[in-house]
């Protein structure tokens, strides 16, 4: 019998898969395996009983990977399980960055009691005019599960898509998606694109990669989407780039007190993967991988 503890609630459809070989551990201190969503585990003292941790999600920066490796704890994630949800919010964000929908809605809410609202709308709407995404150039940094789905969907909407991934050759990128145009370097992507979306894990090499130096190479008025991790972007440099007009819009799934409310920022409360379907997919994949490891010793997505 294995004892499992959920550090965060995960979708019931995943927990329902646990067979009679499993029971709920009263606390993580008694557990053989842990299931986690987004709670940070960095401060937790893991008991020696823990054999594995499964994260229902893609990023693993909430898990102390080095400590786990040292003590032989296997860590799983669920890459791809939430990719469609993230792709869909990226497409919405391309439009949010191009059309002043959010400001327009806020304005209607503030003006809704005006008896002449219809006339006021006609007088005011010009200030919310936007631009179209068709024909614009989108740079996708990171061609994993999400990046490739985004590239294909954006191309269907009429964008020219450029992809860059340090671990994938131009040819391999083309095999992943015939819609991705080859680009030789990140600098070239920065210079070329009207929109840039990042899909890379947080690591020493990606921390703060969108910084003053990168912004200086970009087109005036570029629009940036960050559904990867907050620390991929250097906030001070982003604020300076927004103020100078180099960056026109920054859509981020990671609001923090520094960036939220800055002109040009559209901050979303980490909703990238928050759909019923994605929660179910991640929970199922996490539980299946955990059981396969505990019962058969198979290791996937570790
Ligand atoms: C992920 O790492 O899978 C995404 O950030 C979504 C999430 O965890 O909510």
- From the CA of 57, give the closest atom in ligand 1: 3
Instruction: Reduce the DSSP state of residue 268 to 3 states and report it.
Output: coil
pTM: 0.94
Give the Å distance between the CA of 291 and the centre of ligand 1.
22
Give the Å distance between the CA of 272 and the centre of ligand 1.
7
Start-end of H helices in 99-203: 101-111, 117-124, 145-156, 170-176, 186-192
Give the Å distance between the CA of 270 and the centre of ligand 1.
8
CATH class in words for 83-267 = alpha beta
Q: What pLDDT was estimated at residue 174?
A: 72
pLDDT per position as a tens digit, 137-174: 999 999 999 999 999 999 999 999 999 998 887 677 77
Question: Judging by DSSP bridges, how do beta strands 22-24 and 265-267 pair with one another?
Answer: unpaired
pLDDT of the chain, 302 residues: tens digit per residue:
999 999 999 999 999 999 999 999 999 999 999 999 999 999 999 999 999 999 999 999 999 999 999 999 999 999 999 999 999 999 999 999 999 999 999 999 999 999 999 999 999 999 999 999 999 999 999 999 999 999 999 999 999 999 999 888 767 777 778 889 878 899 999 999 999 999 999 999 999 999 999 999 999 999 999 999 999 999 999 999 999 999 999 999 999 999 999 999 999 999 999 999 999 999 999 999 999 999 999 998 88
Q: Do domains 2-78+276-296 and 83-267 have the same CATH topology?
A: yes
Give the Å distance between the CA of 161 and the centre of ligand 1.
24
Instruction: Reduce the DSSP state of residue 34 to 3 states and report it.
Output: strand
- From the CA of 77, give the closest atom in ligand 1: 3
Is residue 221 within 8 A of residue 195, CB to CB? The reply is no
CATH class in words for 2-78+276-296 = alpha beta
Compute CA 148 distance to the chain's CA centroid, rounded to the nearest angstrom.
13
Ligand 1 pocket test, pick from 9, 37, 40, 59 with the greatest ligand atom count within 8 Å of Cβ, gives 59
User: Atom 9 (ligand 1): residue with closest C-alpha?
Assistant: 273
User: Atom 8 (ligand 1): residue with closest C-alpha?
Assistant: 57
Nearest CA to 299 out of 82, 109, 123, 53 is that of: 53
Q: Which ipTM value was assigned to this complex? A: 0.92
Give the Å distance between the CA of 221 and the centre of ligand 1.
28
User: Atom 6 (ligand 1): residue with closest C-alpha?
Assistant: 273
Binding-site residues, ligand 1, Cβ < 6 A: 38, 57-59, 82, 270, 272-273
* Dihedral of the alpha carbons of 270, 276, 281, 286, in degrees to the nearest 10: 60
Give the Å distance between the CA of 37 and the centre of ligand 1.
8
Is residue 227 within 8 A of residue 250, CB to CB? The reply is no
**184 φ/ψ angles, rounded to the nearest 5 degrees:** -80, -35
Give the Å distance between the CA of 59 and the centre of ligand 1.
6
Ligand 1 pocket test, pick from 9, 10, 36, 38 with the greatest ligand atom count within 8 Å of Cβ, gives 38
Domain range list for the chain: 2-78+276-296, 83-267
């Amino acid at each position: 019998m294995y004892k499992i503890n959920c550090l965060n609630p995960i979708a019931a459809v995943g927990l329902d898969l646990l067979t009679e070989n499993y029971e709920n551990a009263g606390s993580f201190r008694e557990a053989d395996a842990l299931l986690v969503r987004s709670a940070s585990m960095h401060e937790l003292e893991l008991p020696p009983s823990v054999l594995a941790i499964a994260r229902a999600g893609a990023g693993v920066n909430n898990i102390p990977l080095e400590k786990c490796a040292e003590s032989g704890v296997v860590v799983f994630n669920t890459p791809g399980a939430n990719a469609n949800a993230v792709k869909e919010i990226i497409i919405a964000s391309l439009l949010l960055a191009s059309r002043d929908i959010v400001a327009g809605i806020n304005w209607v809410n503030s003006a809704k009691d005006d008896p002449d609202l219809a006339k006021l709308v006609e007088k005011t709407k010009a200030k919310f005019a936007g631009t179209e995404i068709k024909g614009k150039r989108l740079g996708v940094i990171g061609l994993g599960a999400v990046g490739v789905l985004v590239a294909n969907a954006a191309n269907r909407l009429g964008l020219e898509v450029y992809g860059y991934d340090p671990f994938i050759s131009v040819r391999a990128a083309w095999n992943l998606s015939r819609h991705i145009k080859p680009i030789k370097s990140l600098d070239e992507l920065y210079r070329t694109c009207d929109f840039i979306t990042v899909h890379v894990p947080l690591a020493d090499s990606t921390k703060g990669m969108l910084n003053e130096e990168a912004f200086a190479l970009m087109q005036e008025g570029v629009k940036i989407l960050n559904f990867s991790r907050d620390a991929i972007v250097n906030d001070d440099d982003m604020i300076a780039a927004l103020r100078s007009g180099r960056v026109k819009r920054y859509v981020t799934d990671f609001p923090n007190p520094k960036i939220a409310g800055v002109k040009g920022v559209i901050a979303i409360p980490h909703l990238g993967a928050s759909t019923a379907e994605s929660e179910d997919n991640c929970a199922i994949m996490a539980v299946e991988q955990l059981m396969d490891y505990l019962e058969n010793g198979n290791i996937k997505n570790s």
